[in-house]
């Protein structure tokens, strides 16, 4: 089946004065991550960058008036494909090597048959249907799905851990270490506004606790941590944003299942 060529690869939605959501509409929801641009006084953040199939830096050019640091909530390929385009990246210290993709250990693929069968099985066991082809269009003529691979970051990487603060000048995000989905999963928490960027630690869809690097005990502890966060809004790694009630409902549901 021939896929159509997309006339643009990213969609976007303005959330407020400072926050814009970008996403890849032709990507299957399973690997379509939320890309959050946050404008700051001194610099901007790009929280996750999608698959790297097309240039995010180009598509978001008009948003990027300031230097921008690309944060990796974790280094699964659907979140870090575009990080190599940015001059500085931020990642938890446990996933720095993975962001550089030096050991090529990061599973990646746009078709079912290019994804590690073990990983494919775990994804399906979590309640997703893994389609044979995970995109409904290609970004340009001649783009070959089988050639897709994750580009490692060569530029500057700043590593963070729990309690560090990313200070944009006018807003401060505390790093929460939220392991379980992956060892170096982080959240960015702004207490003043009650805003949490949660990555894949929690989102409003089937949570995945069985991929390589995942740890169920850590995930349980993370869900307990999340239960106590007085978030007004959670901007997650996938699916629509939600408030504290839903945050607690999701956490409670998985704690009942897992703990
Ligand atoms: Zn993930």
Q: How far apart are the first and last CA of the chain?
A: 44
Distance 191 CA to ligand 1 centre (A): 24
Q: Quick check: 103 pLDDT over 80?
A: no
Task: Quote the percentage of the chain above a pLDDT of 90.
Answer: 89
Q: Quick check: 227 pLDDT over 80?
A: yes
Q: Quick check: 233 pLDDT over 90?
A: yes
The pLDDT value recorded for residue 65 is 87
Task: Quote the percentage of the chain above a pLDDT of 70.
Answer: 98
Ligand 1 ion local residues (Cβ < 5 A) = 76, 200
Instruction: Name the pLDDT band for 104 (thresholds 50, 70, 90).
Output: low
Q: Quick check: 187 pLDDT over 70?
A: yes
Distance 5 CA to ligand 1 centre (A): 27
Distance 73 CA to ligand 1 centre (A): 9
Per-chain mean pLDDT for the chain: 95
Strands 186-190 and 195-199: antiparallel
| Model pLDDT for residues 164-178, shown as the tens digit of each residue | 999 999 999 999 999
CATH code linked to domain 4-258: 3.60.15.10
Distance 76 CA to ligand 1 centre (A): 5
- Which residues, 6+ apart, have CB-to-CB distance to 184 below 8 Å? 74, 75, 91, 92, 93, 94, 95, 98, 177
Average pLDDT (212-230) is 97
Distance 16 CA to ligand 1 centre (A): 26
The pLDDT value recorded for residue 170 is 97
Give the least confident one: 61-65, 215-219, 243-247.
Answer: 61-65
| Model pLDDT for residues 111-166, shown as the tens digit of each residue | 999 988 988 998 999 888 899 999 999 999 999 999 999 999 999 999 999 999 99
Distance 205 CA to ligand 1 centre (A): 12
Distance 229 CA to ligand 1 centre (A): 21
Distance 29 CA to ligand 1 centre (A): 12
Q: Do residues 234 and 243 make contact, with C-beta atoms less than 8 angstroms apart?
A: yes
The pLDDT value recorded for residue 105 is 66
What is the signed CA dihedral for 7, 60, 18, 242, rounded to 10 degrees?
50
* Per-domain boundaries in the chain: 4-258
Average pLDDT (182-197) is 98
Distance 203 CA to ligand 1 centre (A): 10
Q: Do residues 150 and 134 make contact, with C-beta atoms less than 8 angstroms apart?
A: no
What is the signed CA dihedral for 71, 76, 82, 84, rounded to 10 degrees?
80
- Which residues, 6+ apart, have CB-to-CB distance to 203 below 8 Å? 236, 237, 238, 239
The pLDDT value recorded for residue 255 is 98
The pLDDT value recorded for residue 2 is 81
Q: 3-class secondary structure for the chain?
A: CCCEECCCCCEEEECCCCEEEEECCCECHHHCCCEEEECCCCCEEEECCCCCCCCHHHHCHHHCCCCEEEECCCCCHHHHCCHHHCCEEEEEHHHHHHHHCCCCCCCCCCEHHHCCHHHHHHHHHCCCCCCCECECEECCCCCCHHHCCCCCCCCEEEEECCCCEEECCCCEEEEEECCCCCCCCEEEEECCCCEEEEECCCCCCCCCCCCCCCCHHHHHHHHHHHHCCCCCEEEECCCCCECHHHHHHHHHHHHHHHC
The pLDDT value recorded for residue 106 is 73
Instruction: Name the pLDDT band for 102 (thresholds 50, 70, 90).
Output: confident
Look at 110 and 127; give whichever has higher pLDDT: 110
């Amino acid at each position: 089946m021939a896929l159509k060529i997309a006339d643009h690869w990213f969609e976007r939605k303005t959330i407020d004065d400072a926050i814009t959501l970008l996403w890849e509409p032709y990507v299957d929801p399973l690997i379509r991550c939320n890309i959050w641009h946050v404008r700051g006084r001194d610099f901007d953040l790009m929280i996750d960058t999608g698959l790297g199939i097309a240039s995010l830096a180009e598509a978001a050019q008009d948003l990027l008036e300031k230097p921008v640091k690309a944060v990796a909530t974790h280094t699964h390929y659907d979140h870090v494909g575009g990080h190599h385009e940015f001059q500085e990246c931020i990642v938890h210290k446990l996933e720095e090597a993975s962001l550089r993709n030096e050991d090529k250990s990061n599973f990646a693929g746009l078709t079912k048959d290019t994804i590690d069968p073990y990983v494919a099985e775990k994804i399906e066991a979590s309640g997703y249907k893994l389609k044979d082809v995970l995109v409904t269009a290609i970004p340009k003529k001649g783009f070959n799905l089988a050639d897709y691979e994750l580009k490692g970051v060569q530029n500057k990487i700043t590593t963070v851990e729990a309690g560090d603060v990313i200070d944009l000048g006018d807003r401060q995000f505390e790093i929460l270490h939220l392991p379980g989905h992956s060892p170096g999963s982080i959240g960015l928490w702004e207490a003043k506004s009650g805003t949490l960027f949660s990555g894949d630690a929690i989102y409003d869809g089937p949570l995945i606790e069985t991929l390589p690097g995942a740890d169920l005990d850590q995930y349980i502890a993370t869900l307990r941590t999340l239960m106590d966060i007085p978030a007004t809004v959670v901007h997650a790694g996938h699916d629509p944003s939600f408030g504290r009630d839903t945050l607690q409902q999701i956490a409670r549901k998985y704690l009942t299942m897992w703990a």
